Structure 1
Amino acid sequence: MKVRTNIVWAAAAVGSGIFVLLGYFIDYEVILTLRLILMRWSVLLAAVALFLGLFNLLTVHWSKVSEQEKGWPFSALLILAFLVTLIMGLVFGPDNQISLLLFNYIQLPVEASLMALLAVFLAVAGFRLVSRRRDPFSLIFVVVALLVLLGTGPSLGASDSDGYVLLRQMRNWIAQVWASGGARGILLGVALGAGLTGLRVLLAVDRPYGD
């Protein structure tokens, strides 16, 4: 019985994937309509999964608050912020001045602060790496991190000085050439991995929908 159930799930997954894939290459009304229906179902399931994830998040943090576990004030703050943001969005809408005020003066500064801390932590980690393992790659990492940080931050002297202009140009060169190339390579790898995973699901090699 279990084998038959797995076969049914595999057939449903493979059939759905094939119809959605064919809808991008074959201009046939039946296939296009079926593809649209399946994609709407997937969007609906994704919304339900998001709702369940939010519900689980609130349940976990509410349990911490009710049991007064370690760090429960942070859980209470998370629940309060979530409820305030949700109510503001539902009542006033996402384009309301109050919602934009919450985003521009609370969420955006918090995200910027986290990114700034991440940059500092990377620099500190680089120095620790050099102190423990001195090789060319560690030195290159630290030098590049310092150049990017100094070129991104404000100038300590005149902003139009030759040294600062050269530093900004080096920072832009690193970000636009080397960093962008690495990011494109990572995205290509992610795309190839996602395509290969989808192909394995279509061929029923991987079955994440059953044991």
Structure 2
Amino acid sequence: MTRRIGSGKLVIATHNAGKLKEIAALLKPYGLDCISAGSLGLPEPAETGKTFIANALIKARAAAEAAGLPALADDSGLSVVALDERPGVYTADWAERQWFEGEPGRDWYMAMGKVEGLLQAKGPDTPRVAWFSCVLALAWPDGEHAIYEGRANGKLAWPPRGEMGFGYDPVFVPDGREQTFAELDPSDKHAISHRADAFAKLVADQFAS
């Protein structure tokens, strides 16, 4: 039987306010008090893994050990079929400004532009099929862990549309919808996103009676 997290404090291993808000909303019905690694002053570990699972585990284990509490991390990213599934595990890296691109930090519009530029370079008939992946790693201070994987299929739009969401949401149109993730009401996005898919599996495993 899978170890249960129960209720109480859960460290969300992120320094991203948008991600914390989204995860906290998904876990609100289960009596968990979600606090971010950023609010606890925990450092961000180097994400040296070559897969979403490896990076999610690095973050969850680091937060759990540092805080002495259960911790949940996600590693998510965009994979584009025509780009050999890139950026994939390097999704966030594509948003990092180089020394010649301005102040250090992440520029998601720049990252979306990189993807679009590569697609346009392949010609107007290039398929725009893509998917978001999400891996959730739940870790305890003693080293035990559980993994849950989710996915949302769709296609890429250009130019970016919408003010909600974060990351590549303004260019991702999920299957069955006309709007991008950034145009959808958060409750609608939460119902169909890759993160929602992974969380449904976590909830079924952790909180089902």
TM-score, length of structure 2 as denominator length: 0.27
Greater percentage in helix:
1
TM-score, length of structure 1 as denominator length: 0.26
Greater percentage in strand:
2
| Structure showing greater relative contact order (alpha-carbon pairs closer than 8 Å, 6 or more residues apart) | 1
